[in-house]
Amino acid sequence: MSDVFGISVSALQAFQSAISVTSNNIANANTPGYARESIDLTSAAPQANGVLSVGNGVVVNGISRTFSQATANQLNASQSSLGQLTALQSYSSQIDNLVGTTAGGLSTAVQGFYSAWSDVANSPTSTATRQALLGKAQSVASTFQSTSSQLDALNTDINSRITSDVQQINTLGASISTLNKQIIVSTAQSGGQVPNDLIDQRDQLVSNLSKLTGITTTTDSNGSLNVFVGNGQPLVLQGNTTTLTTVPNQFDASQLEVSTSTSSGNVISSQITSGDLGGLLAARSQVVNPAKNQLGQIATAFTETVNSQQNAGLDLTGKLGTNLFSVGAPLATASSKNTGGATATVSVASVGALTANDYVLSYKGGAYSLTNAADGSAVSFSGSGTSASPLTADGLSIVLSATPASGDQFLIQPTAQAAGSISSVITDPSQIAAAGAVQTSPASANTGTSTISSGTVVNAANANLLTTATIQFTTPTTYSINGAGSYTYAAGGNITQNGWQVQISGVPAAGDSFTVQSNAGATGDNRNALLGASQQTLPVLGNGTISVNGAVSALVTGIGSQAQQINTAQTAQTAVNSQAVSNQQSVSGVNLDEEAAKLLQWQQAYQAAAKALQIGSSLFQSLLTAVQSA
Amino acid sequence: MRVTQNLNQTQFLTALNTLESNLSQTQNQVATNLSFTTPSQNPVAAGAVNNYNQALAQSKQYDTNANSAQTRLGTEDSALSQVQSALQSLRDLALQANSGTVSSQNRSSIAAQATQIQSSLVSLANAQDGNGEYIFGGYSTQTQPFALNATGASYSGDLGQRQVQIAAGQSIPDGDSGATVFNQIKTGNGTFTATAGVANTGSGVVGANSVSNAAAYDGGTYAINFTAANTYEVRDSSNVLVTSGSYTDGQAISFRGVQVTLSGQPATGDTFSVAPSTNQSIFTTVQNLVTALQASSSTVGANTQLSNSVNVALNNIDQALNQTSNVRADIGGRLNAITTQLSVSSSQQIQLQSSISSLQSLDYASATTKLSEENVTLSAAMQAYTLTQNLSLFKYL
């Protein structure tokens, strides 16, 4: 008879536990990381009773988590990808908005500048149109600067987010290792019973970590979890953690890199390709810096073309024009790890060949090598790096102050600082070079029918450009210049001297002469202003295939396409992630209706067990009564 | 598949977020009338719109240039039309002076009128445009180009001719150098000048002269010498006899492709020269006329000289009138080109505007349809949420 009581009590206890487990599930229905639990019941070992074997009640074996490591891993990986794309998307959409459909007003400003040149050409002596041109020049420069400084601000923001991500990763790593220790102790104390709540917490921390950076995990036999970042750099090994730090980039101290130690030799930035941190690093190298370089490329080409035209003309005072814009030269930064003291100086040799790439110049084993900084591909170059024979590649000319030590590296950034440093340097409207540099005239005594063109400048740097020169026909078919030489006359052919070029056509007579001289005083001349205005459509970039404004349009399209692509990828990954969340929830999440049903189930079972106890008790009572009455 | 309340909640919130952001974007499109507001919404169109906008702005700038050239050419044309009428009056005066019945007193009054005309010619040649630039100064538009002097007028400008771009690849000059308009005027008939020797004593007057055979005229200088009152010989610059003949009043003397008509009676030893035309400024022509008119002319020889001088002046005035007409015709051609270009560019601009608008402007019909669709979806999602949220087994416990 006693077994009825024993069995009923074991059932009451088991069902009470089951109700507790269900209540706990309900209580944690909204707890992040909670995996629903279920009670493991088995029947107790039977008691041999002669030939019969009667069961001995129910035993609670344990409380287990409903958890699938595979779906958890899937979710973590998907969260890492989503984190990366979300961070990337936040910057690409900022640049998308910043650039807008007019490249941050750049296309409007550039257009206004060229229109102002046209206005100067229409009325070259007017101070008002010249002043307007200076105003437009100022506005082009400030548009470049403000766009560039907004990009710089994004880089600053990226740095601070990298720092905070690294801090969070370290905190999570430390918490995981602490939990590892607690889990080992707790498992040992409870005789092998796994502490579900601690494991839930640990899994939640791992999940949070996966949002910050891509991770891989392994579980040791003692239940502790090891976490690796990058290409297998250990972050947590049982109870030990590695602390990540941020160190300045070896070339550019303003850009932070992630390292496994304070030494810059252990930079693992390139290995971190997912999670928020991976997204930040990608945003910097794929979105912000390229945009800044492209903007700088446009600024450099714009400055170069405007200045060279300005140098080829005369201003109102009759002097050759000085530069209208100044722009920062390409940067060449020695690595902080260099052992030699050599410095590199880079200048732009050909604007047309200039790219928006950054380069790494390395010196090893007595030879230079030049690679694209973004993808490491080799860039062909010529020269030996001395001032007599500079290294030339992609429109750049690189001169080293001395032979670098073997292993030394330099980062070459041809256009990174151009957009931020462009400024308009002329303030006096009379310094606008609207007039052509030279003027030509036939001698009044000429008897031939030949005429001379007005003259163009082919080399503004020629020191004798403005020196008066005379072209004298010694015979109708030969001429001398300044009394020297004897050249054969070809009607309409180019005659080039002192940096200018003229054409004489028609039939000259012997003794005819033409004078080419400085155009000083010809304040109404607009030839140079016309050329200035016509540069709007002059293809200067991309080896003479793209105009400045064309490059601005290409920048808009490029940034737009990139942002669109990232948006699409982010949207797709959001869907993938939501699928992973629902898979994981489907396994481990708490369904309240299910719990309600279980609650009823356990309640009824409990009531039944109680009834069994009551019946057992009444059976015993019946027996006692029978014995007493007998 | 097990669906948990928590997942339900999260998924609903995510969906709500997406729907609301789509709705907001469509709303923004409708409010701005733009089919895209950031390049990422349509990267290719964004770049293309940028290019079209540039082309449009450039085309408008060309219009501005054309209008500025139009104004300047208009000013030049009106100055030149006044120059033409001044030259016409001068021509009338010269004809009047040459009529032979004019007294010396009248001649000096004609001279005074000619002087008057000369100063008005100089002031026309120094005309300025609306910006205060001298029209006929070439590139030197801030220096007064012409100043009267003893032999006519000096020129301080240059030969420059300013161009204005009125279309891609099309530039037109917005003026003409004073040197071309007023100074480089061929003397005589444009090919050669026939003049009477200053020491002539007869009454021979140079009349009409022309090139009868351009190929035969070698551009040389020839002298027609009268060896007797009715006999002439023609010698070239090397004193080689070219031809000779007997002189008849009013009959043309022809040699080497040129024809020179003399009238009156030249005396023995009188010479007439034929020399290639040179450039002479209109002011020198007028000055020479005035000087000739002011000279006394009581003698036969002086009268003949006056007639010859006036004839030379008439020739030169005709050349100047020709030149002015040519320049004005040229200006007319440029103004025509501008008008044509302005109409071309106006249709070009309409084309560009419509291209920009087709890329950038919103299709309202589809946008409003989209807006209401999104609206319906959003409210349906909300309704579905409230319906499913009511479902719970606990309500029945």
Question: Is B233 near chain A, with CB under 8 Å?
Answer: no
Question: Is B164 near chain A, with CB under 8 Å?
Answer: yes
pLDDT per residue as tens digits for the range A508-564:
888 899 999 998 888 889 999 999 998 888 898 888 899 988 899 999 999 999 999
Euclidean distance between CA atoms A391 and B236, whole angstroms: 71
A89 neighbourhood in chain B, CB within 8 Å: none
Exposure class string for A392-406: b at 16+ Cβ within 10 A, else e: ebbbbbbbbeeebee
Tokens of B357: 């608008």
Question: Is B35 near chain A, with CB under 8 Å?
Answer: no
Q: How far is B376 from chain A (nearest CA, A)?
A: 22
B138: left (phi over 0), alpha (psi -120 to 50) or beta: left
Is the pLDDT assigned to residue A287 strictly greater than 50? yes
The answer to whether the Cβ–Cβ distance between A107 and B50 falls below 8 Å is yes
A564 neighbourhood in chain B, CB within 8 Å: 40-41, 43
pLDDT of residue A473: 92
Q: Which of residues 301-360 of B touch A (CB under 8 A)?
A: 360
Percent of residues, chain B, with pLDDT higher than 90: 45
Report which of A488, A32, A602 is spatially closest to residue B397, judged by C-alpha positions: A602
pTM of the model: 0.85
Q: How far is A470 from chain B (nearest CA, A)?
A: 16
The answer to whether the Cβ–Cβ distance between A522 and B138 falls below 8 Å is yes
pLDDT of residue A523: 87
Average the pLDDT over each of A73-77, A191-195, A236-240, A425-429 and give the range with the smallest value.
Answer: A191-195
A578 neighbourhood in chain B, CB within 8 Å: 11, 14
A119 neighbourhood in chain B, CB within 8 Å: 64
The answer to whether the Cβ–Cβ distance between A560 and B39 falls below 8 Å is yes
pLDDT of residue B300: 67
pLDDT of residue A237: 92
The answer to whether the Cβ–Cβ distance between B47 and A556 falls below 8 Å is yes
Residue A361 · residue A344 · CB < 8 Å: yes
At residue A160's C-alpha, the angle toward residues A157 and A165, to 5°, is: 120
Is the pLDDT assigned to residue A185 strictly greater than 70? yes
pLDDT of residue B308: 87
The answer to whether the Cβ–Cβ distance between A556 and B160 falls below 8 Å is no
Strands (E), A379-499: 391-393, 396-400, 408-413, 423-424, 435-436, 438-442, 451-452, 456-457, 469-475, 478-481, 484-488, 494-497
At residue B372's C-alpha, the angle toward residues B367 and B377, to 5°, is: 120
The answer to whether the Cβ–Cβ distance between B139 and A586 falls below 8 Å is no
pLDDT of residue A180: 95
Provide the pLDDT confidence category of residue B107 given band limits of 50, 70 and 90: confident
Tokens of A432: 């606008």
Q: Which of A29, A587, A599 sits opposite B5 (nearest CB)?
A: A29
pLDDT per residue as tens digits for the range A395-447:
999 999 999 999 999 999 999 999 999 999 999 999 999 999 999 988 888 88
Test the B interface: residue of A93, A122, A125 with most B CBs within 10 Å: A122
Q: How far is B107 from chain A (nearest CA, A)?
A: 34
Residue B42 · residue A556 · CB < 8 Å: no
A212: number of Cβ within 10 Å = 26
B293: number of Cβ within 10 Å = 27
Q: Which of A100, A114, A596 sits opposite B38 (nearest CB)?
A: A100
B276 neighbourhood in chain A, CB within 8 Å: 447
Q: How far is B291 from chain A (nearest CA, A)?
A: 24
pLDDT per residue as tens digits for the range A133-183:
999 999 999 999 999 999 999 999 999 999 999 999 999 999 999 999 999
Ordered by start, the domain boundaries in chain B are: 54-187+316-348, 192-277
Q: What are phi and psi of A450, to 5 degrees?
A: -75, 150
Of the CA atoms within 13 Å of residue A121, those in its CB half-sphere come to: 33
Test the A interface: residue of B1, B3, B4 with most A CBs within 10 Å: B4
Is the pLDDT assigned to residue A121 strictly greater than 50? yes
Euclidean distance between CA atoms A606 and A24, whole angstroms: 18
pLDDT of residue A145: 93
The answer to whether the Cβ–Cβ distance between B163 and A557 falls below 8 Å is no
Residue B126 · residue B105 · CB < 8 Å: no
Q: Which of residues 275-294 of B touch A (CB under 8 A)?
A: 276, 279
Question: Is the CATH number 3.30.300.30 carried by domain B54-187+316-348?
Answer: no
Instruction: Taking residues A29-44, report their average pLDDT.
Output: 92
Q: How far is B72 from chain A (nearest CA, A)?
A: 10
pLDDT per residue as tens digits for the range B29-62:
899 888 888 888 888 998 899 889 989 999 999 9
The answer to whether the Cβ–Cβ distance between B61 and A521 falls below 8 Å is no
The answer to whether the Cβ–Cβ distance between B162 and A556 falls below 8 Å is no
The answer to whether the Cβ–Cβ distance between B65 and A118 falls below 8 Å is yes
pLDDT of residue B298: 64
pLDDT per residue as tens digits for the range A458-489:
998 899 999 999 999 999 899 999 988 899 99
pLDDT per residue as tens digits for the range A595-616:
999 999 999 999 999 999 999 8
pLDDT per residue as tens digits for the range B332-379:
999 999 999 999 999 999 999 999 999 988 888 999 999 999 999 999
Is the pLDDT assigned to residue A491 strictly greater than 60? yes
Average pLDDT, chain B: 89
The answer to whether the Cβ–Cβ distance between A125 and B141 falls below 8 Å is yes
Is the pLDDT assigned to residue A250 strictly greater than 50? yes
Of the CA atoms within 13 Å of residue B37, those in its CB half-sphere come to: 14
Provide the pLDDT confidence category of residue B296 given band limits of 50, 70 and 90: low
The answer to whether the Cβ–Cβ distance between B141 and A524 falls below 8 Å is yes
Of the CA atoms within 13 Å of residue B128, those in its CB half-sphere come to: 10
A587 neighbourhood in chain B, CB within 8 Å: 2
Average the pLDDT over each of A31-40, A361-370, A563-572, B203-212 and give the range with the smallest value.
Answer: B203-212
The answer to whether the Cβ–Cβ distance between B50 and A447 falls below 8 Å is no
A92 neighbourhood in chain B, CB within 8 Å: 40
Q: Which of A111, A125, A559 sits opposite B57 (nearest CB)?
A: A111
Strands (E), A285-407: 313-314, 325-326, 331-334, 344-348, 359-364, 367-372, 391-393, 396-400
Q: Which of A552, A558, A597 sits opposite B393 (nearest CB)?
A: A597
pLDDT of residue A153: 94
Tokens of B187: 């003397």
pLDDT per residue as tens digits for the range A303-327:
999 999 999 999 999 999 999 999 9
Is the pLDDT assigned to residue A282 strictly greater than 80? yes
pLDDT of residue B267: 87
pLDDT per residue as tens digits for the range B121-150:
999 999 998 888 899 998 888 889 999 998
The answer to whether the Cβ–Cβ distance between B42 and A125 falls below 8 Å is no
Is the pLDDT assigned to residue A345 strictly greater than 90? yes
pLDDT of residue B281: 92
Residue A44 · residue A6 · CB < 8 Å: no
Question: Is B11 near chain A, with CB under 8 Å?
Answer: yes
User: What SS3 class is residue B217?
Assistant: coil
Average pLDDT, chain A: 91
pLDDT of residue B264: 86
Question: Is B2 near chain A, with CB under 8 Å?
Answer: yes
Q: List, in order, residues 6 or more apart from B373 with CB less than 8 Å away.
A: none
Question: Is B17 near chain A, with CB under 8 Å?
Answer: no
Euclidean distance between CA atoms B2 and A597, whole angstroms: 14
Euclidean distance between CA atoms A517 and A522, whole angstroms: 11
B138 neighbourhood in chain A, CB within 8 Å: 522, 524
Test the B interface: residue of A75, A88, A89, A101 with most B CBs within 10 Å: A101
Residue A271 · residue A282 · CB < 8 Å: no
pLDDT of residue B249: 86
Q: What are phi and psi of A356, to 5 degrees?
A: -95, 15
Q: List, in order, residues 6 or more apart from B328 with CB less than 8 Å away.
A: B77, B80, B81, B84
Q: Which of residues 41-80 of B touch A (CB under 8 A)?
A: 41-44, 46-51, 53-54, 57-58, 61-62, 64-65, 68-69
Is the pLDDT assigned to residue B215 strictly greater than 90? no
User: What SS3 class is residue B134?
Assistant: strand
pLDDT of residue A1: 47
The answer to whether the Cβ–Cβ distance between A530 and B397 falls below 8 Å is no
Give CA torsion, residues A295, A300, A303, A309, to 10 deg.
Answer: -130
